[in-house]
Amino acid sequence: MLTMSTLKKSDAEFHHGDLQAALVTAGLRHVEKHGLNSLGLRQLALVTGVSPTAVYRHFEDLEHLKASVAKAAREVLGKMMVDALKAAPTSRTAKGAIDRFLAIGGAYIDFGIKKSNLYEIAFICFDSPDLEPTSPSPWEILMQSLVELNELDCLSDKNFKTAPTIAWSMVHGFAGLAAQGATGNSGETLASKKDVLKAVLKSLDIN
């Protein structure tokens, strides 16, 4: 776990990309706590206890930093989806595949509810140098689940073509509303979450 004491080191103590990773982690935590608009290169230097020059060596500008933090936020989402899969039934049956599909959808919505500030930045497109692919990738996790549903004849070939866009849009939209607190209290949000996931199954004719 990164703390202020571990981050307040001289620039020379970081090597082989360690500083950049530490800066992204610090930026991620800063956004999670204070929101996207509070993130800045000099602010990050202050939080981590390194010089602004050190920060600028790793990020061309604020857009580059935000893109890196956005990627890290998507990876937090991906890890939540992976954890949900691990906790879901493992049987190679139609019911098992549907349960796993619902689990990753539920995790996506939970990301919006529990980490609303990270949700805000996760899918914004920033003008920055190319970054390494997001890993784990929420999109790839969704596609793997849909492929499994198709292979088990729970999802038709016809519906498979449009399933990624439909499923992603419905879940992402509700997660966004939940992130903004627009879905009511916790009980109402939970009930609506279940209804949305059922609606996704219905819209894709998954059975």
User: pLDDT over 70 for what percent of the chain?
Assistant: 92
Instruction: Give dist(CA 186, CA 2) in Å, integer.
Output: 31
Cis preceding-peptide flag for 136 (omega within 30 of 0): yes
Confidence bin at 103 (pLDDT 50/70/90): very high
The domain segmentation of the chain, as residue ranges, is 1-59, 73-203
Asked if the model's pLDDT at residue 11 lies above 50, the reply is no
pLDDT in tens, 20-42: 899 999 999 999 999 999 899 98
Read off the amino acid at residue 63: E
Q: Give pLDDT, residue 17.
A: 53
- Residue 185 — φ and ψ, nearest 5°? -75, 180
pLDDT exceeds cutoff 50 at 8: no
DSSP characters over the chain = ---HHHH---GGG--TTHHHHHHHHHHHHHHHHH-GGG--HHHHHHHHTS-HHHHHHH-SSHHHHHHHHHHHHHHHHHHHHHHHHHHS---SSHHHHHHHHHHHHHHHHHHHHH-HHHHHHHT--------PPPSS-HHHHHHHHHHHHHHTTSS-HHHHHHHHHHHHHHHHHHHHHHHTTTT-SHHHHHHHHHHHHHHHHHHTT--
Identical fold at 1-59 and 73-203? no
More confident residue, 81 or 14: 81
Write down the pTM of the prediction.
0.88
pLDDT at 3: 40
User: Band of the pLDDT at 165, cuts 50, 70, 90?
Assistant: very high
Give the chain's mean pLDDT.
Answer: 90
Tokens 């500083």 sit on residue: 19
Q: Is the pLDDT of residue 155 over 70?
A: yes
- The fold adopted by the segment(s) 1-59 is Arc Repressor Mutant, subunit A (1.10.10)
pLDDT of residue 124 exceeding 70, the answer is yes
The CATH code for residues 73-203 is 1.10.357.10
Q: How far apart are CA 137 and CA 120, in angstroms?
A: 17
Calculate the CA 184 to chain-centre distance.
Answer: 22
List pLDDT tens digits, range 44-66: 888 888 888 889 888 989 999 99
